[in-house]
Amino acid sequence: MERIIVIGSPGSGKSTLSKKMSEAMNLPLIHLDKLFWKDGWIESSNEEFNNKLMSELKKEKWIIDGNYGGTLSLRLSYADTAIFFDLARILCVRRVIKRVFKNHGITRSDMGSNCPEKFDLSFIKYTWEFKNNQRKKVYEKLEKAGNVKVIVIKSRRECREFEKKYLKQNS
């Protein structure tokens, strides 16, 4: 595993696992939100975002954390491993709300600069609807990704087991 994408609903644990993997496996970590969001919650154009993403994809080793479904097929074409968090939506929504309260007004390390955490009802709605609106598309793209090892994590227990199996042996 040298080119890993980590995908799943907001609040599923993508960034947390990606950070642990980056440290344990000594792989550079790229957060898609950091590539996409400019200072002060300004969106990058598709061209800007795609250029930044391609620059990262061409590198020898990496972990890329984030969804951005429009680029999933492209990322899969460069990846050797895809980790998909397919967790219960109530857990993900609860985690997003907890994250907002914990980090309100603070820019997290996995975000663009000067993008402080804020309460966004549409984002919570997106998180709640992720399983219904995105899950099938993600599985279809994963099935088409020929040489990519796919790991699906469906519970917190499975995440802990993944960490024991893959991170302890590499640290």
Write the pLDDT tens digit of every residue in 3-56. Answer: 999 999 999 999 999 999 999 999 999 999 999 999 999 999 999 999 999 999
Q: Rounded CA gap, 143 and 30, in Å? A: 24
Amino acid sitting at position 39: D
DSSP per residue, 112-165: -TT--B---HHHHHHHHHHHHHTHHHHHHHHHH-TT-EEEEE-SHHHHHHHIII
pLDDT attached to residue 55? 97
Residues 79 and 57: their CA atoms lie apart, in Å, by 8
Task: Give the pLDDT confidence score for residue 44 in this predicted structure.
Answer: 95
The predicted-structure confidence for 55-92, as pLDDT tens digits, reads as follows: 999 999 999 999 999 999 999 999 999 999 999 999 99
Supply the pTM of this predicted model. Answer: 0.93
pLDDT one-digit tens code per residue, 120-144? 999 999 999 999 999 999 999 999 9
pLDDT at 170 over 60: no
CATH architecture of residue range(s) 3-156:
3-Layer(aba) Sandwich (3.40)
| CA dist., res. 21 & res. 15, Å (int) | 10
CA trace torsion 27, 51, 43, 68 (10° rounding): -60
pLDDT tens per residue, range 90-118 = 999 999 999 999 999 999 988 988 999 99
Domain boundaries, the chain: 3-156
Can you give the pLDDT at residue 16?
A: 95
Please provide residue 109's backbone torsions phi and psi, each rounded to the nearest 5 degrees: -65, -20
